[in-house]
Amino acid sequence: MTNEISVNGRCFTRRITGVERYAHEISMRMKPNPRIIVPDKALGQVSGHLWEQVILPMKIQKNEILWSPANAGPWTISNQVITIHDASVFDHPEWFRPAFAAWTRLSWKILAKRVKLIITVSNFSRDRLKVNLKISDEKICVIPNGVGKPFEAQTQNSINAVREKYRIGKPYFLFVGTHEPRKNLGILVQAWKQAQINDHLLIITGTKGIVFAEAISKPEESDNIKWLGYISDTDLPALYAGASAAIVPSLYEGFGLTALEAMACGAPVIASSTTAFPETVGNAALFFDPHNANELTKAVKNLMENKSLANTLRERGLQRAKIFTWDESARKISRILSRVS
């Protein structure tokens, strides 16, 4: 029997970053169209948990299977599939506020016993979740993230307009992401200072997440570093496309969505060699050890000086990005939700 699908829409009231993008992109492509259950207003951490554990279960109908796409779900709903994107709260609890890490670990252990299936986004995350949650192969499956519009090749006019809007007067390297310990901004800034590149900027976008420990304080603007804050999807694709390279220096990622977005927009990528990055970007990035600022400095200089390498990575990235589509991810998740019992 085919299940009707409902979606835990708690994350739909939040600003869009990686997990929220995943939930939006998959939900709008699901077949049959799911019933998305969203809180009446944006909720904080505590009020969000209360809504999810108390209010949401009362809204689920008997013939529905619930999909919780954003690392959290109601404990009392067993007819549920949850997506857990990575195991970082187990592997590196020091990166999070203690109460958040403790609650999340407890919640995942409870959910792992009760839900029908756990979806995750990479083989790396699957392996780490199996160890930490003590679950079998049958309880977890891998469905990678995707990429799609507006993350695609951009016109020069679009690139020029974004550079003018944000007063970017030099060529630039780009970081996109939430400011949290795993994103490794300290090494990024250290490597950039070591490089002593005066004819390029390092542009750092994003803001600090509320559940994370401190990441880094802003260095002086004289370091050729420009902080832009949160960038909306209206401008982000052209910002990617205009970059000399996107730098993704994370110590830990369950997938590495910003690397994929950058490749889809035609930016060469310099990426950490750890966790899920090798399986996500394949041979379409210049890798470095994220614990070694010297390696990142060398990678940046290499890409600046070797235009042939930059063009090769750009072409490989565009081809690699075609493998990952939200349409395919949504098709696979829809099939699982319709068949699981």
Model pLDDT for residues 181-200, shown as the tens digit of each residue: 999 999 999 999 999 999 99
CATH architecture classification, 4-146+325-339:
3-Layer(aba) Sandwich (3.40)
Q: DSSP letters of 110-148? A: HHHHHSSEEEESSHHHHHHHHHHHT--GGGEEE----B-
3-state secondary structure of 179: strand
pLDDT at 178: 87
- Name residues whose C-beta falls within 8 Å of residue 57's C-beta, 6 or more positions apart in sequence: 74, 76, 77
pLDDT at 339: 87
What does the alpha-carbon distance between residue 272 and residue 252 come to, in Å, rounded to a whole number?
Answer: 9
- Name residues whose C-beta falls within 8 Å of residue 302's C-beta, 6 or more positions apart in sequence: 286, 309
Token couple for 93: 């609890």
The yes-or-no answer to whether 4-146+325-339 and 156-321 have a common fold is: yes
Q: Nearest CA to 185 among 22, 259, 296, 298? A: 296
What does the alpha-carbon distance between residue 160 and residue 171 come to, in Å, rounded to a whole number?
Answer: 11
Token pair 């829409």 in the structure block, residue: 9
pLDDT at 102: 95
Q: DSSP letters of 250-298? A: -S--SS-HHHHHHHHTT--EEEESSTTHHHHHTTSSEEE-TT-HHHHHH
pLDDT at 210: 62
The count of C-alpha atoms lying within 13 angstroms of the C-alpha of 121, restricted to the half-sphere facing its C-beta, is: 29
Q: Where are the domains of the chain?
A: 4-146+325-339, 156-321
Element (H, E) at 80: strand 80-83
What residue ranges of the chain have pLDDT lower than 50? 1
Q: Which amino acid is at 321?
A: A
pLDDT at 44: 85
Domain 156-321 matching CATH 3.40.50.2000: the answer reads yes
What count of other Cβ atoms lies within 10 Å of the Cβ of residue 156? 10
